[in-house]
Amino acid sequence: MKTRTGLIHHGLQKITAPGLGVNTPVHRASTIVSPDFETYLNRFDNDRVYNDVVYGAVGTRNAFALAEAVAALEGGYKTVVTSSGLSACTVALAALLKQGDHVLVTDTVYGPTRLFCDEVLSRFGVEVEYFEPTIGGAIGERIKSDTAVVFLEAPGSLTFEMHDLPAISAAAKAAGVITVLDNTWATPLYFKPLENQIDVSVQAGTKYVAGHSDLVIGLITVADEKLHRAIANHARYLGDVAGPDDCYLALRGLRTMSLRLEQQYQSALQVVEWLFQRAEVKAVLYPPHTSDPGHALWKRDFSGGSSLFGLVLHCSDIDSIGRFVDALEYFQIGSSWGGFESLVAANIPPLGRRLIKWESVPCLLRFHIGLEDPQDLIDDIAGALKQLPAD
Ligand SMILES: Cc1ncc(COP(=O)(O)O)c(C=O)c1O
């Protein structure tokens, strides 16, 4: 089955009786009732907790349907659905690490994942070390006898550095170290982590999967049963669960993800190409563009791109940049991304990064291209650029 067909057919409601709809209805439940005493006593026995609906806090039918569809898309063994993209990162990390372990984390990791490493993992006796996104196979030299996990995100948050994922995962595999990739940007449509020797694929389903800016949800997909048990159990111990309405909406979003993402990718390419012609633009951070330092890696490993990129202007006056942002009509100002609408966000240094320094830029703008006509978006940016002072 081709990917696009799978997006439509995986996780559909099983038709076991007449009168059922296509989609699994929203199954709002805390209590799951047992037909008799014995079934109740045995409700957590064997594999039921992993495969059946036994209690609302360990997943409803909607979570199982979403998990089935995402696991198939990723080519994975199973998917664990969590309450947010951030918790997908933190649950995966905490499930795979213990006191005394060493974890290697890319320096351009999503900021709140970094906070979790620094504030929580460190407190629980895990040694956290950051590495440069350009490290490639030399990650092998940082791996120690107690290294348990390498945590990756490609391209990096805000600054969009590509990582040599095959070289890093090969070095980790050779040393018996588990690799986890936050693959939210590319999604499994444009890069399949598990087919590239990465053990755990994490997505903030909040973004392109859900696609409509109206929920938060996390997705962790693994290659084998052992990893699934470790991560599913950890989510259970923490009581980390996604509600049925959010699972329903995320699965509905998944059905149209390939169409939305392809359109948004093409529109982003058009907007980025235009931005490069503008004298006001110092840099656009977008690996699918040929001028990006990560372009060769992107081209080798990814089959497409999402619609999120960084923009650096020559202007170093923060008030003028503010006027430029405020003058945009179609780009709302807001965090998150992956929805149908265009967004702009501004990130003021310092980022708390240790290795990648960010100098001479008062603020880095992050653009998300939505499903509007790209020409309208270009015209909008062109109009707003007039707010910047002439040289
Ligand atoms: C790369 C990346 N990973 C994870 C997350 C967290 O997702 P959520 O907002 O669902 O917690 C984000 C959110 O912006 C993100 O950009």
Protein residue whose Cα sits closest to atom 14 of ligand 1: 336
Domain-embedded: residue 287: yes
Same domain, 136 and 85: yes
Mutate to test the pocket of ligand 1, among 81, 83, 84, 86 (most ligand atoms within 8 A of CB): 86
Domain-embedded: residue 127: yes
Same domain, 134 and 154: yes
CA atoms within 13 Å, Cβ hemisphere of 176: 4
DSSP string, 4-54: HHHHHHTTPPP--STT--SSPPP---S----SSHHHHHTTTSTTHHHHS--
* Residue 43 Cα to ligand 1 middle (Å): 34
Do residues 56 and 30 lie in contact, with contact meaning Cβ atoms separated by under 8 Å? yes
Same domain, 68 and 202: yes
Q: Domain boundary residue among 213, 229, 255?
A: 255
Q: Domain boundary residue among 230, 255, 280?
A: 255
pTM to 2 decimal places: 0.97
Q: What is the tally of structural domains in the chain?
A: 2
Structure token pair of residue 29: 């439940």
Q: Does the beta carbon of 182 lie inside 6 Å of ligand 1? A: yes
Q: Determine the structural domain holding residue 72 and report its residue range.
A: 3-255
Same domain, 240 and 300: no
Domain-embedded: residue 314: yes
Same domain, 327 and 365: yes
Mutate to test the pocket of ligand 1, among 110, 213, 307 (most ligand atoms within 8 A of CB): 110
Same domain, 249 and 263: no
Same domain, 232 and 295: no
Q: Domain boundary residue among 226, 255, 284?
A: 255
Give the pLDDT of the chain (391 residues) as one tens digit per residue: 999 999 999 999 999 999 999 999 999 999 999 999 999 999 888 888 888 899 999 999 999 999 999 999 999 999 999 999 999 999 999 999 999 999 999 999 999 999 999 999 999 999 999 999 999 999 999 999 999 999 999 999 999 999 999 999 999 999 999 999 999 999 999 999 999 999 999 999 999 999 999 999 999 999 999 999 999 999 999 999 999 999 999 999 999 999 999 999 999 999 999 999 999 999 999 999 999 999 999 999 999 999 999 999 999 899 999 999 999 999 999 999 999 999 999 987 766 777 766 666 778 899 999 999 999 999 999 999 999 998 6
Q: Give the dihedral of Cα atoms 285, 204, 134, 199; nearest 10 deg.
A: -150
Check residue 361 and give its pLDDT. Answer: 73
Do residues 305 and 268 lie in contact, with contact meaning Cβ atoms separated by under 8 Å? yes
Q: Does the beta carbon of 332 lie inside 6 Å of ligand 1? A: no
Strand pairing category for 308-313 and 332-333: unpaired
Q: Does the beta carbon of 205 lie inside 6 Å of ligand 1? A: no
Check residue 302 and give its pLDDT. Answer: 98
Same domain, 242 and 304: no
Three-state secondary structure readout of 137-198? HHHHHHCCCCEEEEEEECCCCCCCCCCCHHHHHHHHHHCCCEEEEECCCCHHHHCCHHHHCC
Same domain, 140 and 82: yes
User: What count of other Cβ atoms lies within 10 Å of the Cβ of residue 174?
Assistant: 11
Domain-embedded: residue 391: no
Same domain, 265 and 250: no
H or E stretch at 103: strand 102-106
Residue 350: asked if its preceding bond is cis (omega within 30°), the reply is yes
Q: What is the CATH number of the domain that holds 324?
A: 3.90.1150.10
Q: Rounded to whole angstroms, what are the CA distances from 179 to 10, 19, 51?
A: 26, 45, 25
Q: What CA–CA distance (Å, rounded) separates 218 from 67? A: 10
H or E stretch at 268: helix 257-276
Q: What is the CATH number of the domain that holds 226?
A: 3.40.640.10
DSSP string, 219-259: EEEESSHHHHHHHHHHHHHHT----HHHHHHHHHHHHTHHH
Domain-embedded: residue 173: yes
Same domain, 228 and 275: no
Same domain, 30 and 96: yes
